[in-house]
Amino acid sequence: MLHIFTQNDINDLVHTRDGETKLGETVTVLDDEKDFFEEVENNTSKFVLIGVPEDIGVKMNGGKGGAHTSFFPALQAFLNTQENQFISGKDILVLGYLDFLETVETFVADDPEKGDYLVKQIDKELSELIHFVVSIGKTPIVIGGGHNNAYGNIKGLSTAKKEAINVVNLDAHTDLRRLEERHSGNGFSYAIHDGFLDHYFMFGLHENYTPQYIFEYIHDHINIEYNMFEELEIYQSTSFERELQRAENFIQEKPFGVEIDLDCIQYFPSSAMTPSGFTPQQARKFVHHFGKNKQVSYLHICEGAPTVMNEPIAATQVGKFISYLITDFLKAKSFSG
């Protein structure tokens, strides 16, 4: 169920300082005594921040748990960002988070039937929430959580727009695994199968971690495109900037979502951490680039898992970086109109 943030919840996370204004002092929140749907619709903020702190889909996919631990550090870092001439808190409604934390703490991956049921419950709740937010003209910013939540984002946007939508995904993996139990590796497979996803561009796939059967599936579908991390950074047969434009050309004819899987960033604490990947600056450039496009309809940042590092500073650093991505998106989209 959706846990709605109150003003007191936000105040508890903000460190105020004389002469300065933090985003957390000016973001909007709901009054929990008023009608939820009416209040969200009447809220003047353009963007809606939503958390999905869970790692059930990741565990179902054989990954390391911990993806449920990035949302709250990210929220705190975001709320303590300086408000200045570049960004205003009044544009953001900090809504709340889908609360599956009690289930997350007790779930073990050796029960695939239960895991499938739980991931589908998250799919249902998230897709309904995204549908509502998009249908009233606002842009969701979703912080996970596992990449299984791409399905809920895609379904919600698609049903709100009444058409199959497009996605660009910065990721080391395709997440086009077989249509078995729902998990973090088949969200896009199911979105295509169910008719919600049209054009899908995967940016920065790793040669070593993409099964041949998935390459064959991609090559059989003209609505799926990709590039490889190796051709960008190792062989340098094309450039990051050129591929940004190619990806944009492929998906910009329809409303599209931007998906960021943090496991594509080198040494970033995540459910599938990599020693070879994109830099944080490249990920920020990616978000900024697509955030400027008028068709962009949501941002999803997922798979951050500070607990895999077992170091107290990891949560702070993960939170700060996710906050950078959020503000990069807000600035790009706000300045582009």
Tell me the domain boundaries of the chain: 2-204+254-275+293-335
pLDDT tens column, 74-84: 999 999 999 99
**Lowest mean pLDDT segment, chosen from 51-55, 198-202, 275-279, 309-313:** 309-313
Q: Return d(Cα 21, Cα 179) in angstroms, integer.
A: 48
pLDDT attached to residue 243: 99
pLDDT, averaged across the chain: 96
Q: Is the pLDDT of residue 336 over 70?
A: no
Reduced to 3 states, what is the DSSP secondary structure of residue 207?
A: helix
CA distance 299 to 256: 9
pLDDT of residue 5: 97
Under the banding of pLDDT at 50, 70 and 90, the label for residue 105 is: confident
Q: pLDDT tens digits, residue range 283-309?
A: 999 999 999 999 999 999 999 999 988
Q: Which of 169, 167, 127, 171 is nearest to 151 (CA)?
A: 127
Statement: the pTM of the whole predicted model exceeds 0.95: yes
**pLDDT-based confidence at 311, cuts 50/70/90?**
confident
Distance (Å, whole) CA 322 – CA 123: 22
Helix pair angle (112-135, 150-161), 10° resolution: 40
The pLDDT-based confidence of 144 (bands split at 50, 70, 90) is very high
For residue 146, what pLDDT band results from cuts at 50, 70 and 90? very high
Residue 77: phi, psi to the nearest 5? Answer: -65, -40
Sign of the torsion angle spanned by Cα atoms 191, 159, 172, 78: negative
User: What is the per-residue pLDDT across 315-330, written as a single tens digit (0 to 9) for each?
Assistant: 999 999 999 999 999 9
CATH 1.10.150.390 is held by the domain 2-204+254-275+293-335: no
161 contacts 76 by C-beta, under 8 angstroms: no
d(CA 102, CA 83): 34
Per-residue confidence band for 32, with pLDDT thresholds at 50, 70 and 90: confident
For residue range 150-184, list pLDDT tens digits in order: 999 999 999 999 999 999 999 999 999 999 999 99
- pLDDT reported for residue 208: 98
Quote the percentage of the chain above a pLDDT of 90.
93
* End-to-end C-alpha distance for the chain, whole angstroms: 33
